[in-house]
Each structure stands twice: as structure tokens, then as C-alpha cells.
Structure 1
Amino acid sequence: MQTRITQAPFGQLPNGETITQFTLTNANGLVAKIIDFGGIITELHAPGRDGKMADIVLGFETIEPYLADSPYFGALIGRYGNRIANGRFTLDGQEFTLPANNGSNHLHGGAPGFDKVKWIAIVDEDSLQLAYRSVDGEQGYPGNLDATVIYTLTDDNELIVRFHAVTDKATPVNLTQHSYFNLAGEDDILDHVLSIDADAFVAIDAESIPLGALAPVTGTPFDFRTPRPIGERIEQPDKQLRHGLGYDHNFVLNKPDGKAMTRAAHVCEPESGRVLELFTEEPGVQFYSGNFLDGSLKGKGRSYQHRSGFCLEPQHFPDSPNQPQFPNTILRPGEVYQTESRFRFSVVR
């Protein structure tokens, strides 16, 4: 392992605290830049088939836009990734109320969630470790939650994201990483060719809350079991596409061995040849096609237009605390929350 980690200031918070950007570089020249505010991946540089490097994640050059209402570019998400219906859940007979920050629903841990706090950073040889204590009652969640995230960039061109958490009271936990990718480094992502190893997805209502039943992908625009361009069917008159304004759905991964690490998704950008593969221990992956990007956000010398980035968020299912048929997301004292995902980058010739 030859990953080098350097650090430099990345601006200040309103309270005067300095934010640091950590640059991870592997032996092949792959570069990931991560800040200790929100654990945000601000840049990720990967080569194309011509050897030319491109920054393949959406983000900003300064801290100020991340402090504003940015759409979770590159951020760590918690305590609960995705939505909780009406900002409410009942746990062990007690009802808890969370802030509604997405219509009447609770999204991505609230405001602020883990994406809008400063993490304690430690450089450990070839890895960047980030730690945060979410105190009892923060955003309405019970218990003190101690969360740790470790980013490792390997010489196999994998960016590994490891999550660890413990609590002193039972609480929902569903942590994820929320980078927006564009493997071309420009324009939209509709020509990217995607495959997802999922026979089913979580159907949603008009507010993106699960209907409860899992929907088979067969015969729908959600069948990515064989590679398809993202834009090929995105405008079809499909009710689920209308609800998400495109793809914004949790895919139920085919995992015969339960929590075992499996390849969840494969994406190729044909012109550059860049490839992203996602491997994860999680039961689902939220595929989001950048439907709410509208050109109003600008960073790195360009504006982020409609569908100029996509997300593959490894996670448990949305609204699981209110959906007992979904895999469990309740962490209890004495238990350890532990999950790993790997983003692997390569090139097809």
C-alpha cells in the first residue's frame, strides 16, 4: 500500500473553526480529496482510457456552498439515510418525533444531519478516520451515538468506506455515503451504462415514502440486471418514475448470503471508458439520477445541470423504522453497527 495523505486548510466555519481537506493519493495516481466537515468527498480524480484525469464527483472548491443548502454533494449521511415518513417512528412503545425537512417527511438525518457537522479527523497510515458523537436527542433521535467512518484508498483503485457505530439507547441507524458521480467529468449522465444486481425495488408514493411491498423489476424501466443507458427509459410514462421525477429508488440487492460483500452495481461511461463498480454489505442501494439538479448550483468551473450526476447510496431501506417487514435498522446498546462498501474504479479499452 503506497497511499499518501496530505492536508491543507479548506476555509472556516462561521464559528471560526478551520476545516481541513485531506488528499489521498494511491500508487496509480488516483486522488480523493475529503474534508472533515460532513466527511465530504470534494474531489475524486480518475483516468480515462486515454490516460487523461478527470474529477468525477460533483462538488465545490470552497467551504461556503457546503454550508448552504447543497444537495448532500459527497457527504456522509446519518443518523438515518433516506426518508422516515412524517418524521415519526415508535420504538419499544415510545413515539419519537423528528424534524420534517422534506415536505412532511424526515430526510437524511434532518437539518443539520451528519453532512453538516465537523468530524474529528485522524490520519492512520493509509486511511482517514473520522469520528462524531451524535448526542441523545439530536434531531429527535434517542441515545448517544458514537459513529466512526474510515476512508481508505487502495492501490487496487478502490475507495473503501467503513462505518462503525455504538449507542447507549436503542436508535435507528442507517449510514451511507452520498457522492454524485459523473464519469465523463462533464455534461449529463444519461449515456452512462448502468447495471444493478436487483430483482426488486422499493415502490414509493408521490412523497417518496415506501408503499410497503417490494416491486419486481421485470418488465419495468427499473430492470438494470443487464446493462442499460441511464437515459434509455427515464422518460417513459411509468408511475414510479413520475413519483421520483426519474430514478430515486432503493433497489433490493440479490444477496443470497445475507450480509456478504457483493457487487451491487456497475457503471461505464462509454466515451472515456471510465468504470465504477460498487461492492457493499448493505441490503439495498439507492439509485438517484440527479433529478433535482437545475443549473442553479455552480462549482469547479461549471454549473450542475439537470441529471449531471448520479448517486449510488449503499443503505438499508427507507422508512424501515415504520416498515417491520424491511430489514432491521435498530441498533441497541451492546451491539455494534458495522458495514463496508467499496467503490472500485477502472477503465475499459
Structure 2
Amino acid sequence: GIPLDVKTTMAGLQGLKDIKFLVNADFAPVFTEGYTYITSIVSINNPSRLTLNIGDLWLTAGQEGFTEDVKIGYSVVYNLRLVPGDNIVTSVVGFQSDSPLATTFTEALNVRAVMLNLWANSTATTNPALNAGLASLRSGVLLPKELKTASPPAYSDVWTIKVLPTTVDDGLVEVSTVFSSPYYMDMTVEGTCTPETCGFSPYPPIGRLYDSIGDYMDFLKFPEDIAYSAKNNGSTPLTFKMSLQNDPLATRSRIENVVATSTAKGSIPLEVFWGPKVRLPNLPRIFYPSWSDNVFYPHRLSLKTGTDFPMIMDWVNKHIPPPAVVPPPVVPTTVPSPVVNPSPVVVSPTPVVVSPTPIVAPAA
């Protein structure tokens, strides 16, 4: 256990009074549980020279005050180990989604920064002596509006695509970029979130291409098995396969426009919509953040293309048939019928029969 009678031990716990919010990792309502979980990266300073192995630290969370009647839920830091200096750790805040106090809390977060108060009770840790030392703890962490802060991007804003000789048949292209950790700590990606693996329906994991006039098509799809590790402050170059999609908006003329843009400029605008499955140290569960490009950049990504990119039309010609040519409707020619003028009817006069006047003999 932790020797609480040592002054440096209590000094080491003083950093719990001032927890600094760094970045939000996940805001996840779990409808099957009726709970919402906020996973954040925070900094806790240990001003002493002693390393404190605290274990799981459970604190009560509230918005106003430090009493049970304002309790929203709880906050937990798993397997907490405080070394001298600043410690970057993962904190999870959980609360009942339909709780009136929790609703007030989340509504406030949408419009302003909110101070989340934290305090300990008799079950804060598995160490009764440590719990006694934490009994007077009154702490808080200032959460920014909408939990938004500037953080390191999860990937570069420059990507590269390569069309392969086999693309015409399997629809797979090679895509390369450089990944990093946006969480100020080591992390691993263990695949792409899908309704089957995550239990909910995320936005389709796609790459959206733009043509020269700003029209778009959801033309590239992330693989489900993408996996890599990224070190804090490090970079991980990665090449992986993405599949071409027969998107309703991917008309032949639009694809031809994209190919022409790539030939002229050597790149095309790209947007990414992706939810990976992420694992962080000391966090017992995988979480599913939104890593769309607008989370990290105010501008669209650049997808660099090479001389092989026009080969994408081979796949298009095979899988997206040209629109059927509809012949113009046949308009019948109207030929006026000949007008037959009737012959005039000549009415023969009825012959008048004049009977001769009888000759009467004179009277004798």
C-alpha cells in the first residue's frame, strides 16, 4: 500500500486538485446500457519525488458543488500511476443518459465551458488508507465548449494513391499517408468500425473525391482490417488497400473530370470520413472516435496522383457502363389527306305535263 504517513506521499496527491483537460477522445452514448461515456486525455501533476501506484481511481462527478444531490455520475482513471511531474492519463466520465442533471450538463457543454467537479468517497480506491487520505479531496477539470481543443492530427493532410495493374479486376488501389497519435500517448488502431463490429451504424468509412467544379463522389472505401501502432510524438508511414466504390454520384463524366484534374495538377481534393477502433494504454475497452478530416484540418486533404491514375478508367469501363443512348422519339409526319370536293348536284326540273284542253263541240 501507499505509506500515507509520509509527507511526500500526501504532497504527491495534491496534483489531483488541479486536473487539466487536454483532448476529448470519445463521446459515446451506449443505448443498450442507458449510459453515456466521455473518454478524455487529461494531465495530472505529481509535485513530489515519489511515484504513487494508486490503481483504479474512482471519483464522484458533479457540475455544481460537491454533494450527492448534484451528482451527475462518476469519473475513473484506470491503473493510475503517478510519477514525479506531469502524467498524461485517460479519464472516463460516465452518467445515465436520461438523468435530468446529466441532461443539464450536456446542454451546458454545447454552449460554454463547464467545470466538472470531482470528489472522493470511501470506495475511491481499493486501499482503505489511501481513501482516508483522499476523503477531503475537492477537485475539478474545466471542460471546453463542445469538448473541442486543438490536438495533434491523426494523419497527414497529404495522401497518395496508386492504381495497380490488378485494379481493373479487383477494384483495389494502394493508398499511403503518415499516421500519428492525437492523444499525447501511444495508441493502436485495430480496424475500422462497422455496424457489425461496433454495434451501431457509423458514417460509411470512405474517401470522397472532388472534381474541378466542386462536385464529389464517395469513391474510396477504407478496409475493415487496417491496423497500426503510433507512438506519442512519433509518426507511422502506412500503405494500405482501399476499394473503389460504384457510387451513384460517380458518373463517368465526373470520373473523367477527376482524371483530367489529376493529370493537370498532380493531385485532387480528398475528404475522409472514418471511424477506427482505437485502444489506449490502461483503458480496458476499445473506443470508436470520429476521425473525419474536418476534426483535424480546416481544409480538404490533398490526394497525390501519378501517371498510373488514368488507369482507373479501365475499372470504370468494366464496372460502370456508359449511359444507354436513348434514340429521340419518332415524331410521325402529318400528311394532310386530300380534300375531295363533291360534284355539284344538278337538279333536273320536274317535267310539267300539260293536258290539252278538250275540244267541246258547239251546241246544236
Normalised by the size of structure 1, how large is the TM-score? Answer: 0.24
The structure whose residues are more often helix, as a share, is: 2
**The structure with more strand, counted as a fraction of residues:** 1
Q: Which has the larger radius of gyration?
A: 2
Give the TM-score taking structure 2 as reference length: 0.23
